[in-house]
Structure 1
Amino acid sequence: MSGGTARTAGAGADAGAGAGADAGTDAGTEQPPSGLDGPLVRAALVLALGAFVALLDTTVVGVALHGFGLRFGAGPAAVQWVVTAYLLAMSAVIPATGWAAGRFGAAACWTGSLAVFLAGSALCGAAWSLGSLVAFRALQGLGAGMLFPLMRILVVQAAGPQRMGRTMSLIAVPILVAPVAGPVLGGAVLHSLSWRWVFLLNVPVCLLAVVLSPLLLPNVRGPRPERLDAVGLVTVGAGLAAGMLGFGRLGTDGPVTGAVLPLLAAAALLAWHGVRARRRPDGAVIDFTLFRDRSFTASTAVGLLNSLGLYGAVVLVPLFFQQAGGYDPLAAGTIMVAQGAGAGVAVLLVGRVIDARSNPRALVLTGLALVAAALTAFATAGRAEPGPLLLGALFVQGVGLALAAAPVMVTLYHSLPPTAVAAATTANAVSQQLGAAVGTTVVALLVQHAAAGAAGAGAFRGAFWGALGFVALTAVPAAFLPAGRKEE
């Protein structure tokens, strides 16, 4: 989310927090963080509802790709555009989120994005050909692109510094649970219903979120944003989309040139934007001056590498049980419930710990260590069977994912003024989108390379060790995260 979405009340909350901290210091005691009141909980729940349905759609569609090919008589390369069109549309719209939030208000943009996603879902369910399905998936992506950055802006606005940890953790539950529930739901839908219900199931949930959002989310505008940098929007949006396309092709068996050209275009467009933003930082789509802030830079780097290593870990495990163990998508998704349980338990506790002036750096490093331990169990497994060891490793990995992700959502804004929240969220969302694309590609390449020289569980050993290497690398910027909350 881009610069200028500061909520006036958010600035007041910061000032109030600072006064409270000073008073607590004078008295020799520390003010306890305030509790989550009804309006904040209801706002968090409607945000979680919207995030959950968007993430669930992504994972369910991944399970359904083979069915689309059979229905429309298309090969894997053509069917893959159902996913690619969605990702490209998401990438194109993300850079405009911050400006739009400042111009129209984050809550209004959130409701509008949900409405676009709802329309795309209904049209996908009514698609009559593969071409129409791809086009409607692009519409879905335009709606989904802004949802996650807007969600974080709205949490910062509503919760303030004293309750941000618990609120971020509350909305992190669907982010961690949806990838686990998606394969289970997708397998059940494809087994019992038409492929159209993969999309039509979104409609009532989205409709509920669209109705509730204007009622529960106050639409607060900050200072009037700078004029929209149209050239910057094109360079960043097109560069991000080209990068997603290039990395997606790099992970397939197609010619390398089909990946190199989009990647070169992405590098050129993003570099051009960097040069322009350096010359005129005011109003730039990505504000590079934010990277002077150590906490923001460390948090963004951790988020980027998390998208590589931790996303890879989440994707690898279902593939491991399906390809090496012979389980169908529904069975593999059911096994992943153990990870969702671990994440759910941890995420509800970690928010309170963050708000109680804990050490975010220690939490993230502990989470990375737990994920590393779980990946080691999978890397050394002799068989792809859900025995006590691997189910326990999945639970531990879920706990680690929550500990590694939730604090970074708060430390991103640790020492930034309220007026920088939107710009910081936009820059972070762009980096995470690129990280997810690279992570998916790396996982695909690791699995392809490993599978060429081994069979069964051994085919995934190199891929798990590779993901473990990314997790270890993430610990480097994590060591520079703040060790406590900002002293007001």
Structure 2
Amino acid sequence: MSTVTGPARTAGPPAALARTLVVVVIGSIMAVLDVTIVNVALHPLATVFDAPLATVQWVATGYTLALCAVIPVAAWAMGRFGAKRTYLTALALFTGGSAVAALSSGIETLVLFRVVQGLGGGLLVPVGMAMVIRAADREHMGRAMAVLGVPVLIGPVSGPILGGWLIDTASWHWIFLVNLPVGAVALVLAARLLPSDETRPARRLDVPGLLMLSPGLALLIYGLTAGGAHGDFTLQGALPPIVAGLLLIAGFVARGLTTRHPLLQLRLFRDRTFAAGIATMVLFPAGYFGSMLLTPMYYQTTRGLTATESGLLGVPLAVAVGTSMQIATRRIDRVSPRLMVVSGIVVAALGLSLFGLQLGPGTPYWRLCAAMLVMGAGVGMVMMPVNTTATRTLAPDDVPSGSTTINIVSQIGTSIGTALMSVVLASHMADAASQRQQAAAFQHTYWWAVTLLALASVPALFLPRRRRSPGPSTAAPVTATAVRTR
């Protein structure tokens, strides 16, 4: 039996890279906007469907669980069906899921169709990243990853504002219908612009590994989400799923180290640069996205702002992240990855510390936004530059597994961070009656986020000290373990 797989990245001309980036960026913008729009719409959906917020929350949770369950399949699907066909399938699932979600007659069907969306969304990011990495030679890698970071700038800025406007001026149906024209354009462009895949021998699907990793991730994320929502990880609905998820993931790791055809290539962790990047992408997203859970809650509960107003106050951070990411990722080809990432972590931790230090019931908003600008500048120096550095030395055949692994650990880190912040905040808000006491509870919780950011600097110190000089475009692929830059 034959299969398809993408061309070696070292052979990808700039024109092919540009076409791939156009398609992937459009698909990523759609996915990022969808998540931020739906998060704004949860309270209105509870009113529309006359359902408790805990039930409506499954509109977001169901999507996340489906996303986590399907991500491990991405590497195998790219090898079995080809990156182009896998990406087209992901776009079709996401767009089709959006269409039927808009037609939902009840909260149960809406959650079901959000799961369909999540199956597509879980494939969009790792497959899109793998295609870009394959199409870019080392000379263009930094600039390509900078363009890939554009959705991070557009989504968080536009999503909350667009979602609020659609809810207020139209109806809840439009938070899903808005995806249809974007998805249709992405499908047409993907079919026309993405390069055809070469045919290679098929790689068997590691079914036992898949049956351990996908449910394991889903159970772990569910348990963390449930524990965070109730402020207690020891609850019956939180602790058993967490333990079961960890046991299944441990079983997957044990199998992956012994089987000939693992679902993911765990041998990639032998490469110090890849392992350091993975560890950084667990800790840093935990602190960053955990703090992003706190900020709108502080504005809305302690300061009494509306969801739209709190969303607008988040614009400076999103702009700073996007701008810094564009500059840093383009410069990663010319500077020390270790110096840039560690410096970014320090700046991000400093900005969040400044935010937490001056937190109070009446702190001027401009001072809080200024602190978030500092944090955003640091965040942009970390996220995409780490991804670029970690995947730069992977052989073309290892790119799907590498990009899939990075997306998995980032999702785990994000879930750990948001759950931890929820539990810490809940424990301190229990006795907080006044605005000052509430602000103090948020202030204490922010220090946990700062600590997670600071801890990310430890694995970042093992990133390459010097940039790797780009080789000629016709050079032989570099295996993940062949070269290590100290």
Give TM-score, length-normalised by structure 1: 0.90
CA contact (8 A) 1:325 1:456 kept: no
Structure 2 SS opposite 1:258? coil
Deviations 1:260-312 (A, max 9, x none): 111121122112212222221x3211222111110000000111112201111
Distance 2:229 2:355 in 1: 24
Alignment partner for residue 344 of structure 2, among 367, 372, 380? 367
Query: Once the 2 structures are TM-superposed, how far is the Cα of residue 453 of structure 1 from its aligned partner?
Result: 4.4
Comparing 458-467 with 124-133, greater Cα deviation is found at 458-467
Do the aligned partners of 2:349 and 2:450 also contact (CA within 8 Å) in 1? yes
Q: CA separation in 1, counterparts of 2:43 and 2:319? A: 29
Q: 279, 286, 295: which one pairs with 1:301?
A: 279
Quote the Cα distance in structure 2 between the aligned partners of 1:82 and 1:252: 15
Moved more, 213-222 or 467-476: 213-222
The residue type paired with residue 245 of structure 2 is: A
1:47-446 equivalent positions in 2, closer than 5 A: 47-221=24-198, 223-253=200-230, 256-280=235-259, 282-355=260-333, 357-381=334-358, 382-383=360-361, 387-446=365-424
For 1:16, the equivalent position in structure 2 comes to none
Q: Does 1:10 align with 2:9?
A: yes
* 2:22 aligned with 1:45: yes
CA separation in 1, counterparts of 2:274 and 2:193? 29
Distance 2:15 2:382 in 1: 28
Structure 1 residues 45 and 380: alpha-carbon distance in aligned structure 2, compared to 1, 3 A threshold: same
The residue aligned with 2:456 is 474
- The ranges of structure 1 where at least 4 consecutive aligned residues each deviate by more than 6 angstroms after the TM superposition are none
Residue deviations 1:137-196, cap 9 Å, x none?
110001101111011101111112111111111111212431232222222222212111
Aligned partner of 1:32 in structure 2 is none
Q: Tell whether the 8 Å contact from 1:450 to 1:461 is kept in structure 2 after alignment.
A: no
Secondary structure of 2:105's counterpart equals: coil
Q: Tell me, what secondary structure is at the counterpart of 1:228?
A: coil
Distance 1:364 1:484 in 2: 12
**Deviation larger for 269-278 or 97-106:** 269-278
- Greater Cα shift, 261-270 or 38-47: 38-47
Gaps of 5+ in 2: 472-486
Farther-moved stretch of structure 1 (223-232 vs 333-342): 223-232
Query: Percent identity at matched positions?
Result: 36
Q: 1:220-270, CA deviations, whole angstroms, 9 ceiling, x for partnerless residues?
A: 247434211111111111111111111111112287011111112112211
* C-alpha separation in 2, matches of 1:60 and 1:287: 35
Q: Which runs of 5 or more structure 1 residues have no equivalent in the other structure?
A: 14-35
- Structure 1 or 2: larger helix share? 1
Counterpart AA for 2:461:
A
Task: Count the aligned residue pairs.
Answer: 461
Question: Following TM superposition, by how much is the alpha carbon of 1:38 offset from its aligned partner in structure 2, in angstroms?
Answer: 5.0
Report the TM-score, using the length of structure 2 for normalisation.
0.90
